[in-house]
Amino acid sequence: MKLSTEPTKLVTRNGLIRGGVFIALLAALPGIFPQHWLWNLMFFTILYATMAVSWNYIGGFGGYPSLGHAAFFGIGAYTEALFFKTDHVLHSGYEPFFMLPVIGLICALLAIPIGMVAMRTRADVFAIVTITLLFVTQTLAFNLRNLTGGAQGAAVVQPKFDVKFFELPFYYTAAIMLLFAFALSYYYSKSKIGLSLTAIRADEDKAKGVGVRTLQVKVIAFSTSVAFTGMAGATWAFYIGFIYPQFAVDPLITITMVLMTFLGGRATLWGPVLGAVILMPAQQLLAYYVGGSQLYLLAYAAIFLITILLLPRGILPTVTNKRRLKALALKSVAAKASDPLAEGQSA
């Protein structure tokens, strides 16, 4: 096994066109659909797309299925609540947004020692370690009452946004985070780090044997991944205004971003975004129609089973593979039709 060291062209014409269309679409959507409930839905869709794209760094490219990302979602949410308590005076209302990079950095720094320990395990044990981290964080959120408010919850200062456009600052903040997360995902797919993560996913022992610094690469992917998750948690806390441990550190948050990535296609650029666009509106509609019974969780389980059984690689890889096989078949038929000798031999 030999890793190629040839540089990959980062920017292509088609990539720029797709990126430009994506940015234009994100910017135009609120104007196309000006209803408040749709702005709310678009905000949560973009927010979860950001988390799914960032989870894909470690769970998709690296093949290490982290089940503890909701811990960092909660850390980001409570950090936002500590910085901006209800007695904090907001001048423009945008100050909590400016704090997001700092919160992301805090989560990334916290993830380094955790990753140095957890990443010494392999994929299945790593999943158990990370879900343990989730429940430890949730327990701390309930018991560290001076910091989190415990079961009584913690309040975040209310923004002074116009009611007519209340959701828009949150939507565009989430959209900017998604663009940065997507840009980093694109960089990983074209860089030596992404190549190293792919080698680790394929065979970590062989990757180590050819000189890949496996532990360092995994920790980098893990820390950058949870940084975006922490920023998403902080944005959610500012939007909701009041947070509780059972919602801020909820295993369902991790399950949702993982399912979105699996549904769209792991280790792909657009797969997590596609999964979020499909799953989040479906989840909101199911929750609306079945109310508080949480029967929509059964639909989550059904989607997960269908994806694993029928689309184990996700929607995009399955569609791409079928198109490739069809193109090869057509090419083979065309080659035989243009080659009389081959036609005579087949006869």
- State what percent of residues in the chain have pLDDT above 70: 93
110 CB-side CA count, 13 A: 21
Q: Is residue 4 part of a domain?
A: no
Distances (CA, A) of 209 to 107, 204, 216: 31, 9, 15
* Claim to verify: residue 260 and residue 341 sit in the same structural domain: no
* In contact, 196 and 58? CB cutoff 8 Å: no
CA 315 – CA 275 distance, rounded (Å): 9
Report the CATH number that the domain containing residue 142 is assigned in CATH.
1.10.3470
Those residues with Cβ within 8 angstroms of residue 35's Cβ, 6 or more apart along the chain or in another chain: none
Q: Is residue 3 part of a domain?
A: no
* Claim to verify: residue 326 and residue 302 sit in the same structural domain: no
- Cα 123 from chain centroid (whole Å): 18
Those residues with Cβ within 8 angstroms of residue 230's Cβ, 6 or more apart along the chain or in another chain: 72, 73, 75, 76, 79, 103, 104, 106, 107, 108
- Name the maximum alpha-carbon separation found in the chain: 87
Token pair, residue 157, equals 């200062």
Query: So what's the pLDDT on residue 3?
Result: 47
* Claim to verify: residue 346 and residue 201 sit in the same structural domain: no
* Claim to verify: residue 190 and residue 335 sit in the same structural domain: no
Q: Is residue 270 part of a domain?
A: yes
- Cα 17 from chain centroid (whole Å): 23
* Claim to verify: residue 64 and residue 37 sit in the same structural domain: yes
Amino acid, single-letter form, for residue 337: A
Q: Is residue 101 part of a domain?
A: yes
* Claim to verify: residue 114 and residue 151 sit in the same structural domain: yes
* In contact, 80 and 237? CB cutoff 8 Å: yes
Other Cβ atoms closer than 10 A to 123? 15
pLDDT in tens, 268-321: 999 999 999 999 998 887 777 766 556 667 777 777 788 778 877 889 988 888
Query: So what's the pLDDT on residue 338?
Result: 72
Q: Is residue 74 part of a domain?
A: yes
Q: Is the pLDDT of residue 73 over 60?
A: yes
* In contact, 26 and 175? CB cutoff 8 Å: yes
- For residues 71-88, average pLDDT: 93
Query: So what's the pLDDT on residue 346?
Result: 47
pLDDT confidence of 340, banded at 50, 70, 90? low
Q: How many domains does one find in the chain?
A: 2
Query: So what's the pLDDT on residue 333?
Result: 80
pLDDT in tens, 184-224: 999 999 899 999 999 999 999 999 999 999 999 999 999 99
Query: So what's the pLDDT on residue 303?
Result: 76
CA 214 – CA 121 distance, rounded (Å): 12
* Claim to verify: residue 231 and residue 331 sit in the same structural domain: no
Question: Which of the residue ranges 148-162, 168-182, 277-291 would you say has the lowest mean pLDDT?
Answer: 277-291
Q: Is the pLDDT of residue 7 over 60?
A: no
Burial grade of 323 (CB within 10 A; 0-12, 13-18, 19 or more): exposed
Token pair, residue 141, equals 């959120």
Phi first, then psi: give them for residue 199, nearest 5 degrees.
-65, -40
Those residues with Cβ within 8 angstroms of residue 215's Cβ, 6 or more apart along the chain or in another chain: 116, 119, 120
Phi first, then psi: give them for residue 155, nearest 5 degrees.
-95, 150
Query: So what's the pLDDT on residue 294?
Result: 62
* Claim to verify: residue 203 and residue 262 sit in the same structural domain: yes
* Claim to verify: residue 230 and residue 331 sit in the same structural domain: no
| pTM for this entry | 0.90
pLDDT mean across residues, the chain: 89
Q: Is residue 117 part of a domain?
A: yes
pLDDT in tens, 10-47: 778 888 899 999 999 999 999 999 999 999 999 999 99
Other Cβ atoms closer than 10 A to 161? 14
Query: So what's the pLDDT on residue 305?
Result: 80
Distances (CA, A) of 312 to 65, 252, 316: 15, 21, 11
Q: Which residue segment(s) compose the domain that 204 sits in?
A: 13-313
Token pair, residue 342, equals 């081959």
Q: Is residue 7 part of a domain?
A: no
* Claim to verify: residue 201 and residue 332 sit in the same structural domain: no
Burial grade of 282 (CB within 10 A; 0-12, 13-18, 19 or more): middle
The terminus-to-terminus CA distance of the chain in angstroms comes to 42
* Claim to verify: residue 283 and residue 330 sit in the same structural domain: no
State the Cα torsion 284-288-290-292 to the nearest 10°: 90
Q: Is residue 2 part of a domain?
A: no
* Claim to verify: residue 189 and residue 111 sit in the same structural domain: yes
Amino acid, single-letter form, for residue 237: A
